[in-house]
Structure 1
Amino acid sequence: MREKFYNWMQQVEGKTKKTAYSYMNAINGVSNHYSHSSSREINIYEVDDLGLLTDISDDYSTTGRFAKFGFGGNGTIRNAIATYVRFYKYDSSHGSITSPSPKQKTSNHVIRRSNQNKVHIKSTNNLLKNARYRGNAIGNSQNLFIRNILSNLGNESFSESDWNETKNYFDNKCAYCGMENENLVMEHAIPINKLDLGEHRLGNLVPSCKECNNKKHHANYRNFLVNQPEELAKIQEYMEQKSYSPLSDNENSDTITEILNMAHEEIGQLAQRYIAIINKLL
């Protein structure tokens, strides 16, 4: 069912592979969180009851009992389960969705849905013919630019002593596994990217052992600690103590995301522009 959901999002709703992949994995987070919170073991992908799926989706909506968790990943959690309900309804009435054919997968066009729900087709011939093994992707620069923006918002400043206080708050233990470690690293509880909207603020920095840091990777702490309520609560209490309010919970989060998406695209366009200028000189 996971793969069917993944394919359906791209074929029927026109979502990008990245968004489809994110939503597909978010459903696992919903399953784990709902199972723990309701004391009822459940796997969303195995539920064959539209009424139950709708109730679960409502629980993670902006007014549901799990609204706070639903805000995870800038609303990815609640959007994912709402999308899955639409998929379930569609699948029940239209039948299964098949995987794209090899011809479709190697197409030289990428279909993207705009804000007006119109479909635009952008040729990728130029990108494909100039692909280079282990070369630097423009996406790396785009993501770094977004990190730079999010890391410098506001007027907050903090020092090494502030960071030491943070480690003391967590008893010099990893905020995720609770194990003592002499080599704790600075970890962003909410990742700094245009999906999660994390920031480089003291309230978003927690000590982590290298093992947990590697395991968590780019995951949001809310998803990573879905089965560890004590650790989850302590990080949230720490954020409140530092008066850190995640951008994903801000009433203007959707607008902020749109602005970051614009910046992301502009960097890509700027890079292509200068590549073209220099290529003319060669």
Structure 2
Amino acid sequence: MSIAQSIQVSEVSGVTFLDIDNAFATARVSLFGGHILSYIPKQDGQERLWLSPHAVLSGEKPIRGGIPVCWPWFSDDHGREKGQLPAHGYLRSQVWKIQHSEDTDSGTLLVLRPTFTRGNGFEYDCNVSLTIEVAETLTVTLKTTNSGLVPFTFNTALHSYFQVDDIQHVTLTGIEGEYKDKLENWAVKTTPQPYKISGETDRIHQHATPEVVISEKDLARTRVVSSGHDSMVIWNPWLGAASIADMDAFGYKHMVCVETACTDGVTLAPQDSHSLVQTIC
């Protein structure tokens, strides 16, 4: 299969990386995990994604930063005791394959598929694809199709880490209503206005917010446009970053996770499909 001219393929420590460079943007993708590591629009030259300087890129463990793919469950919501199955599922820790790539008038189109979808904790027949469109915006579509004979239910997320200069100067706009606070035994709270991060944060906003703007010092830095979701998850480990092996102790200052997610469960009948879409501007 031929690879689009805008894509350069390299291999480091047994992991294949795709470096995309077109008229509109550059991006980097790891086939381990189907994981987007970088996206820089040429219009402003500003990196949108945060990648931990201590991220393990050898395929030994999931990558810290960028856009991890969570599927077929989110966090440890797999119905078993915590630790019995990998957090966020198993697609982010397997090798993906290139199904299709092409250069278009608007950028580069890339379609990836995981090696397998049936696994411990999810033994159903289905097809999963990750479509990545690197253009003036970055659009990521995670599509799940039930190819079997019985319905199944799954959860999923695009666990995106966004680059910021200083988290203490960041404001999130577009999120309203209530959220569940994981740090306080899932207490239901009202979304703060203005929405700032001032400590460890792990919140599930269970409504389909269509757009979140990440601003810094009152200047819009990144827009996150979502569809096919039922939740937005906001996460920053704050001082807890010091206990995360693949994260710098002060890395929390330069990132915030704004995750397009399905945490309430998506049920697919045979032959039905679901697409989770996140566009980064």
Structure 1-normalised TM-score? 0.26
Structure 2-normalised TM-score? 0.26
Instruction: Pick the structure with more strand per residue.
Output: 2
The structure number with the bigger radius of gyration is 1
